[in-house]
Structure 1
Amino acid sequence: MPQISVDYSANLADTFDRQALGLALNQLAVKHLDAAPEGCKTRFRPVDGTVVVGELAQEQDLVLAAFHIFPGRSPEAKAGLSEAVLELLAERLTPAPGRRLHAAVDVVEIDRDFYRGTVLGG
Structure 2
Amino acid sequence: MPQITVDYSATMAPAFDQAAFAQALHTAVVEIAAAKPEACKTLFRRAEFTAFGYEDPEEERHAIVHVTLGLLAGRTDETKAKLTETVLELLREHVEDDGFTLHASAEIRDLDPSYRKYES
| 1:54-103 Cα shifts (integer Å, max 9, x gaps) | 44433210111110111100000000001111111011112322x21111
Whole-Å Cα distance in 2 between the matches of residues 90 and 54 of structure 1? 25
Q: Specify every segment of 5 or more residues in structure 2 that has no aligned partner in the other structure, as ranges.
A: none
Larger RCO (CA under 8 A, 6+ residues apart): 2
Q: Indicate the RMSD between aligned Cα atoms, in angstroms.
A: 1.3
Q: Which runs of 4+ in 1 moved over 4 A?
A: none
Matches within 5 A, 1:27-106: 27-57=27-57, 58-97=60-99, 99-106=100-107
TM-score normalised by structure 1 residue count = 0.89
Report sequence identity in percent. Answer: 39
Instruction: Calculate the TM-score normalised by the size of structure 2.
Output: 0.91
- What whole-Å deviation, never above 9, does each CA across 1:98-122 have from its counterpart, x for those lacking one? x21111001111112x1121112xx
Distance 1:56 1:101 in 2: 16
Give the 3-state SS of the residue equivalent to 1:7 in structure 2. strand
Q: Matched residue pairs, number?
A: 118
Contact 2:15 2:97 in 1 (8 A): no
